[in-house]
Amino acid sequence: MKHLVGKTITEKVPFMGDKVEVKKLTVGEILDLQKVIAKVGDSEDAKKQIGLLRDIIKVAVLGADELSDDDFDTFPIEELNKLSNKVMELSGLAGGTEGN
């Protein structure tokens, strides 16, 4: 099993009529994200919620870390939510209620 340490597993998923490559998050990445999620909590602040979406997508979608906040602001929120849910689902976490 030692030879598998650090191996990245990816899957192509739909996003805005195209495909993006999403990596399955590691235990360490999930723990880091849970800290961010806990800070946002049940906040109704839209900026915090969108920031959380950005953080999740930047960690998991290949190439997303190169996008600026302004770039993210050009995407429909529904599409970002679907992508974030798919990231969580692929990583073995509850993916929300989108039914993807």
Strand partners, 13: 20
Residue 55 in domain: yes
**Average confidence score pLDDT of the chain:** 88
Residue 99 in domain: no
Question: How many domains does the chain fold into?
Answer: 1
Residue 8 in domain: yes
DSSP code, position 92: T
Residue 63 in domain: yes
Residue 10 in domain: yes
3-state class of 91 per DSSP? coil
Range of weakest confidence among 35-39, 88-92, 95-99: 95-99
- The model's pLDDT over 31-68, given as tens digits with 9 standing for 90+, comes to 988 888 888 877 788 888 889 899 999 999 999 999 99
Residue 96 in domain: no
Radius of gyration of the chain (CA): 14
Whole-structure pTM value: 0.81
- Which tokens is 41 given? 């909590």
Tell me which residue range forms the domain holding 83. Answer: 2-90
Owner of token pair 């602040």: 45
Nearest to 98, CA basis, from 78, 74, 76: 78
Residue 44, domain CATH? 3.30.2220.20
